[in-house]
Amino acid sequence: MDLSPLGMAAPSMKERQACWGARDEYWKCLDENTEDASKCKKLRSSFESSCPQQWIKYFDKRRDYLKFKEKFEAGDFQPSKMTAKS
C-alpha cells in the first residue's frame, strides 16, 4: 500500500478479499474454541497483518455485537441486578 499525504491508500479489491478471508479464518477458529482467543493466536496475527488497523477494530466490535445478538436472541441475556433494583 503506497503512502499518500493523507495516509495509506484504500485497500484494493484483492486486499479487501485477503483481509476478509483472514478475518473469516480467525472467526471460525473462535467459533470452534468458544471465543478462546489464546487458541487462535496464529490466525489473529495473520488477520492483523492482512487488514488496516481501523478495520481490525471495526471487525472486533462487529464480532462482539454479533455474539451479543446471538445471546440475546437465544434468551441467555439477563438484566443485571442493578437495573432490576433501580
Partner 1 sequence: MLLLARAPKAWHRLFQLKPLALPGTPGGKAQHVRYQLFSTPSPAETGRQGQPQGPGLRTRLLVTALIGAGLGGAWLAVRAEKERWQQQQRTEALRQAAVGQGDFSLLDHRGQVRCKADFRGQWVLLYFGFTHCPDICPDELEKLVQVVRQLEAEPGLPPVQPLFITVDPERDTVAAMARYVQDFHPRLLGLTGSAEQIAQVSRSYRVYYSAGPKDEDQDYIVDHSIAIYLLSPDGLFTDYYSRARSAEQISDSVRRHMAAFRSVLC
Residues in contact with partner 1 by CB under 8 A are 6-13, 16, 20, 52-55, 57-59
Q: How far is the CB of 82 from partner 1 (least distance, A)?
A: 30
Residue 63: closest CA among 15, 16, 18, 31: 31
Q: How far is the CB of 74 from partner 1 (least distance, A)?
A: 22
Query: Whose Cβ is closer to partner 1: residue 25's or residue 55's?
Result: 55
SS3 35: coil
What's 77's DSSP letter? -
Closer to partner 1 by Cβ: residue 25 or 39: 25
Handedness of CA 63, 64, 66, 70 (dihedral sign): positive
In whole angstroms, how close is the CB of 9 to partner 1 at the nearest point? 7
